Chain A
Amino acid sequence: MDTTAINHQHEKTENSLFGFWVYLMTDLIMFAALFAAYAVLHNNTFGGPASGQLFNLPFVLAETVILLTSSFSCGLAYLVMQRGEVKKVLSWFTVTFLLGLSFLFMELTEFRRLYASGSGPQHSAFLTSYFTLVGAHGLHIAAGLLWMAVMLLVVRKRGLAPKTNSQLARLALFWHFLDLVWIFIFTIVYLMGVL
């Protein structure tokens, strides 16, 4: 590659990262709208259970710890990526993936428990907005896991090329972003709902 081509590649990486930030902001606005819906509807229980009677705080705390740990391991994966250590990148992203998967599994378990006890999303406007807000986050986690699985295969196959690194950087941003959104969900939906 001559210098113009290298500059071009560098420019593209930078643009992708900036574009991804803008995308994250749009996603943040989507979550803001869902939070707003939850704020408006969370007292409309329509004679059904309210948040204080439904949520299992220790369980959700465990979910939170798992997700925060996955964010930490994702940060470590990003650090070793910058040093070009392929094997460590693979192992840290695998740890992140497994933690994310357990988080998703726990969330679905929680949903199933509520559904089985007759508190499904069709029951009241409160439950509608709860399932949608938390479910939207879960859907993002699932998308992130799929992305991570693909990237694990790519790194195994192609190693750490500039384009792969740029994609991994965006994946890491995405994962931290979901962590941040979860902190708000944990605080506003669970803590404020129960305490």
Chain B
Amino acid sequence: MNILFGNLTWSSLPHEWFTIAGTATIIGGGAFMAGILTYFKRWKWLWNGWLTSTDPKKIGIMYLIVASLMLFRGAVDAAMIWLQQSIAEGPHAGYLTPAHFQQIFTAHGDIMVFFATMGLLFGLINLIVPLQIGARDLAFPFMNSLGFWLYVAGAIMINMFFIFGGEFASAGWLSLPPLAEIAYSPGVGVDYWIWSLQISGLGTLIGGINFIVTILKMRAPGMKLMDMPMFTWTSLCSMLLVVSVFPILTVVITLLWLDRYFGLHFFTATAGGNPMMYVNLIWMWGHPEVYILILPTFGIYSEIVSTFAQKKLFGYTSQVLAAFGVTALACLVWLHHFFTMGAGADVNAFFGIMTGIIAIPTAVQFFNWISTLYKGKIRFATPLYWFMGFLACFTFGGMAGVLLSLPAADYQLHNSLFLVAHFHTMIVSGALFGIFAGITYWFPKIFGFRLNESLGRKAFWFWLFGFLLSFGPLYLLGFLGATRRLDHYNVPGWQPLFIAAGLGLALIGIGALFQVAQIIVSIRDREKNRDTSGDPWNGRTLEWSTASPPPFYNFAVVPTVTGRDAWWENKQKMRDARTGRGQEYQNIEMPKNTAMAIYLSAFAFLASFAFVWHIVWMQIFGLAGVIVCIIIRSLDENTEYTVTAQELEKFEKSPARYL
């Protein structure tokens, strides 16, 4: 082992077609962006205006951008999986080696869950929750910036294998031992997996703490808990789950790392290690993680349904209780991921019943949405299309889940494509459709102009039918006995179904192209679709009471809330309720920009990279850098500045604009 470079050698550099392509994309893309920024002299603008910002709206937009890139990255993996499975029948081996195929499905799962969906949700929560509760900022603006940059560091780390090492983990998206142990996965793939999840998971954890404190402590005066908008409620539930289960993820992947790095025996097949303990611990995090993704989008749907039915949400109290029911039950069902472990009939029965019971609070929310639409003055806009698509798909996928919750049935369906079809139905229609609906709904609030409607609807229809065509066949294949993660099969009857699934993905691709076109066209036509009212949908909650896009301080005067749907209520009372109008301004304190989060995350990244490659000096350097950054930041007495009343008045007269 080399002191300077650890386990890094010349042979670690890219030499296979996919690592060369990946490296070229990363370096080429980076150079292209750098070129553009230099040509237009935008470095300073980028650094001061965006990267070092502590404004949750800007951090939210950056989350959306990074997560969209990662969504694309994960979609490329999905396309590669489908292409392989469409051709690799009988005598045809397909175009991927089995080892490469395993890395692709592992990377696909991790990227989609940790970096695409989580990133998009954190983006929306950052953008909307402070506005909905009438706050100017989060409780800990620096921590928010730090959470984002740790997430970015994790996203870069999961792609580093392209440049150094040439292999990603191939033990499944949760890296199950003993396969993921050093004896069976001696390469750096699992180490990249560990450190990518470790640093981004810490970012998620501090984000969770931040939003809990923000929602519980920083609501506008008068806003009681039961006055909070549903998206804020479900974000709170989601963040409560984050702080409850992300610590387990942190611990369990640390233990796996200790096994791999120091030769310990937590999960090894020898010396008394217990691989099933890993499976238990990781699913104690992993199952609630699904609800961490789903709960906020349930809140988005609640907002959209009541706005576009122009009616208050039916059964608000039961909706809140149902969200909490899901939150509590989410922590009691992890064992249904491995009924086949053989824990015995009693244990399996308990977890089977708990799993089935989750359908009840979920159904409560469904009936509330349907009842809200009933007799509402419905306006059909793109967000509602996404909701209707979700309603059908999620019900179907949910029923498949109830089927899987029966241990006896699960023994047949475990690890089959039926399961793959089930959870993709839940995550795509539950989380992803909801995120698309939310982005369309809040786009005018975030950027100040509406998205193109007709392109949005076309995107929706392609997504919906593409989704049905790509996952419908997987339910059938699962019943026919096809297991997940197949790089090759010998059943000619399966091939047409795999090809149909591939065509479905192509339709989804067309839908995604429509979404890209939608954004480009909407930016081109932005003057025509400019939202000057701040309230383009006749909204109900406080985010619609301020300008679009909101000024950096959100509200010139913090609104006083007297009930649910505060903004709607104000409009009904014919008050000139636009916040701050006709009221006296006061000086306010706002957080300063800081680059410390970037430095800290860079050091954490270096240390993690050094742990992957056993470079001791760099580990010490990285960790010392992290500690020094924390100390410097905690001693900084000048983290805020004052915006005076006069300045506020000036800002209110000239609204902010990104584009």
* Residues in A lying within 8 Å of B, measured CB to CB: 2, 4-5, 8, 11, 14-16, 18-19, 22-23, 25-27, 29-30, 33-34, 36-37, 40-41, 44-46, 121-126, 128-129, 131-132, 146, 150, 154, 163, 167
Contacts and interface: CB of A to CB of B under 8 A. Distances in A.
Per DSSP, chain B at the interface is helix
Given A25-B243, A36-B281, A44 B266 contact: no
A19 B212 CA distance: 8
A123 to B, nearest CB: 7
22 contacts: A5-B589, A16-B140, A19-B139, A19-B140, A19-B209, A22-B213, A26-B209, A29-B247, A33-B247, A36-B277, A36-B281, A37-B266, A41-B272, A44-B271, A122-B262, A122-B265, A125-B271, A125-B273, A125-B274, A128-B264, A132-B255, A132-B258
B258 A44 contact: no
B280 to A, nearest CB: 9
B217 interface: yes
B209 A23 contact: yes
B272 to A, nearest CB: 3
B209 A22 contact: yes
A146 B627 CA distance: 10
Nearest to A143: B627
Contacts of B244: 29
Interface stretch (B60-68, B519-527, B629-637): B629-637
A110 B650 CA distance: 66
A121 B262 contact: yes
Contacts of A41: 266, 272-274, 277
B263 A122 contact: yes
Contact of B264 (A26, A46, A122): A122
Interface string B170-208: 000000000000000000000000000000000001000
Contacts of B250: 30
B264 A33 contact: no
Given A4-B586, A25-B243, A30-B251, A19 B210 contact: yes
Given A29-B247, A123-B271, A128 B216 contact: no
Interface string B261-286: 01111101001111001000100000
Interface in B209-253: 209-210, 212-213, 216-218, 243-248, 250-252
B533 interface: no
Interface of B: 139-140, 205, 209-210, 212-213, 216-218, 243-248, 250-252, 255, 258-259, 262-266, 268, 271-274, 277, 281, 586-589, 627, 631, 634-635, 637
A46 B273 CA distance: 9
Contacts of B247: 26-27, 29-30, 33
Contacts of A129: 266
Contact of B635 (A15, A25, A154): A154
A122 B243 CA distance: 31
A4 B587 contact: yes
B586 A33 contact: no
Given A30-B247, A146-B627, A125 B272 contact: yes
A19 B211 CA distance: 10
Given A29-B243, A29-B248, 10 more contacts: A29-B244, A36-B281, A37-B255, A41-B277, A44-B274, A125-B265, A125-B268, A125-B272, A150-B631, A163-B637
Contacts of A154: 635
Nearest to B258: A132
Contacts of B140: 15-16, 19
